[in-house]
Amino acid sequence: QLSMRILHARAWLSAGILALALVWLGMLLLALPAQAEQRIVPEQTPRGPNALPGIVFNKWVANNPACSTPQSVLEVAADTTVYFCYRITNTSAETVTLTTLMDDNDSTVVIWSTEGRRPLPPSGMLDWSVPGVNLIRPVSFRNSTNSVAAWTLESGGNAYIVESAPPATINIVQPKLASQLTVAANTPLCSTTTTADVRLVNNNAAYGHANFCLTITNNGDITLTEHIVNIPVLGINNQVFTATLTPINSAVAVSRSLVITYGSPLGLAWTAALSRTIIEATLTAQAVVTSTTENKNSTSASAIATVNGPTTSSTVQRFFADKPDQCSDDTSATGRTGVTVYYCVVIRNTSAVSPELNLVQLVTHEIFDSASGGRAFVQAPIAGGESLTVTNSFLAANGLPQILGPISYKQAGTFSSQSVVTSTNATFGFKTSGSATTSIVVSVPPEDTATPTNTPLPTFTPFPTVTPFPPPPIPTIPPTFTPAPTWTPSPTVVIITTPGGQPPTPYPQIGSGGLVQPTTNPFVSPLQPGVFDPAAATATAAVLFGLVPPADPFAATATAQALFGLP
């Protein structure tokens, strides 16, 4: 029984809930017709600019967030931000209530008030200038558009949709600008070329001038009114001027372009910079022009012109030197193995003729010498017409590697080496190179040969002079008287005597008994009867030893005496 009671209770509870739900659903169905009568159905609500008489709704477009210059039609470039501005005026005798504001042809709900509702009394006006409302809206478009806003109002228990009139029109236009920068050398006329050679003038005695012309042209379909010019290399920066350039479809084609020269009649001081002295090796000028429309749509274009300035040249000479601080004018040399030499380098700037004009300076000189394999960077400005002599002492004085010597040649042969010089001026872009070669002939010295010693001939020592000593006294012996024999004639006898000798002893007389034997003197040599003759002895010795000079008559006499035993 308890179970049955529980089941009955559950059944009654379910039935009660179901009945309550049915009652609630019935009440809901009864309320629907009343709400449906209050719903605003767009198809049934009056709509249009004159949907509610006395209500005027305007929508404009402006190019600034303050809506200071609202317009019905605005030409802008794609993606340009513009500003919609709204105004509604009640000229009727009844108060209306402003509710929902739709824009962009009912695609956007404008949150114009935090309450979403606002009464507008007779003669009342509401726009972007009223505090507490936001009736300015920023937008941008990529395509042209006609935009209509719709404001829903309540009046006398009825709803009305008032549309803005006329539509706000945004025309997407394409501003296009073309620019050209031309250049001419030493002439005030505008050239049609974008490059020019502006060399030294007056026989390389002065820099030349380049004259630039800037031409800007409107190639778009909207008028350009303001322009900003930048040519930094000429010192022209953010120079603004006003000039109207009509669009490409304009009937006045002449006004589409503007040519600006250094003598332009625009009264712009900066145009004087379009004429310039060219002191650089190369000058590249880039002009950037930005032009804007009346609605501040901008477009830019750029152009480039190139000027080739003074040409640079130099010569290099290389010489031998005996000392590190010297420089000769010898490009060749000779020497023995082991010879040591120095070199020097002369750099001459031949870009201009007169150094007083200080034209085309060369500042940095990179010197490579093949004899030493060294490299040095010399900082010394030399103008056109000037020269620089670089010695080893010059390098040392400037704290640079001493690459010009001393160079020692240990072997025989012909040795050539060179110096290569690259001179530059980084500020003005000058660069020139040159080289010079020198040769040295090295030979082997001859071998040393012994110098013969000349042995002098012996000095002839003459024989000592013989001092004759006096002969001993000859004793006088009285001869024995012998009667003279009968005289018999005798043959003729030639007596040879020597100078200074004693008178010859007379031959003995021949008697009847034959020759009388003379008395023998025991003190006299038998070979030299009589006395000793030292002069004769000396002469005889000279003959025997080969010491008698020829043609000596006294010697000859003595010789005969010695040979024949004659006194």
- pLDDT recorded at residue 57: 97
Cα 182 to Cα 477: distance, rounded to the nearest angstrom = 159
Per-range mean pLDDT, top range of 173-187, 451-465, 521-535: 173-187
Give me the mean pLDDT over the 75-99 stretch: 93
* Close Cβ partners of 114 (under 8 Å, ≥ 6 residues apart): none
User: Is pLDDT of 484 > 60?
Assistant: no
- pLDDT recorded at residue 263: 83
**How confident is the prediction for the chain on average, in pLDDT?**
82
First to last CA, the chain: 224
**pLDDT, tens digit, 9 for 90 and up, residues 123-151:** 999 999 999 899 999 999 999 999 999 99
- Specify the CATH class of 314-443 in words: mainly beta
Cα 321 to Cα 329: distance, rounded to the nearest angstrom = 9
**pLDDT, tens digit, 9 for 90 and up, residues 198-209:** 999 988 889 999
Please answer whether residues 55 and 97 qualify as being in contact, where contact means their C-beta atoms are separated by less than 8 angstroms. Answer: no
User: Is pLDDT of 375 > 60?
Assistant: yes
Query: Letter for the amino acid at 535?
Result: A
- pLDDT recorded at residue 473: 64
Chain centroid, CA 415 distance in Å:
31
User: Is pLDDT of 264 > 90?
Assistant: no
Helix, strand or coil, per DSSP, at residue 539? helix
**Length reported for the chain:** 567
User: Is pLDDT of 37 > 60?
Assistant: no
- Go through 54-66 and write b for each residue having 16 or more CB atoms within 10 A of its CB, e for each that does not: ebbbbbbbbbeee
Asked if the peptide bond before residue 508 counts as cis, ω within 30 degrees of 0, the response is no
Give me the mean pLDDT over the 22-31 stretch: 58
- pLDDT recorded at residue 296: 82
Task: Write down the pTM of the prediction.
Answer: 0.57
User: Is pLDDT of 549 > 60?
Assistant: no
Give residue limits of the domains in the chain: 44-172, 177-308, 314-443, 493-500+528-567
User: Is pLDDT of 356 > 90?
Assistant: no
- pLDDT recorded at residue 67: 93
- Using CA of residue 319, residue 322, residue 328, residue 333, what is the dihedral sign? negative
Q: Which residue has the tokens 């404008």?
A: 110
Query: What is the DSSP secondary structure assignment for residue 161, as one 8-state letter?
Result: E
| C-alpha closest to that of 277 among 221, 235, 327, 330 | 235
**What dotted CATH number matches 44-172?**
2.60.40.1470
* Percentage of residues in the chain having pLDDT higher than 90: 59
| C-alpha closest to that of 349 among 400, 279, 424 | 424
Cα 555 to Cα 562: distance, rounded to the nearest angstrom = 10
* Close Cβ partners of 452 (under 8 Å, ≥ 6 residues apart): none
Please answer whether residues 143 and 158 qualify as being in contact, where contact means their C-beta atoms are separated by less than 8 angstroms. Answer: no
Give me the mean pLDDT over the 250-266 stretch: 83
Please answer whether residues 256 and 177 qualify as being in contact, where contact means their C-beta atoms are separated by less than 8 angstroms. Answer: no
The DSSP code sequence of 223-256 is -EEEEEEEEGGGTEEEEEEEEEE--TT-S-GGGG
Q: Give yes or no on whether 177-308 and 314-443 have one common fold.
A: yes
Q: Give phi and psi for 254, each to the nearest 5.
A: -60, -35
Cα 467 to Cα 534: distance, rounded to the nearest angstrom = 9
Topology of the domain comprising 177-308: Immunoglobulin-like (2.60.40)
User: Is pLDDT of 542 > 80?
Assistant: no
- pLDDT recorded at residue 187: 86
The DSSP code sequence of 107-132 is TEEE---SSS-EEE-TT-EEETTSTT
Helix, strand or coil, per DSSP, at residue 388? strand
- pLDDT recorded at residue 529: 46
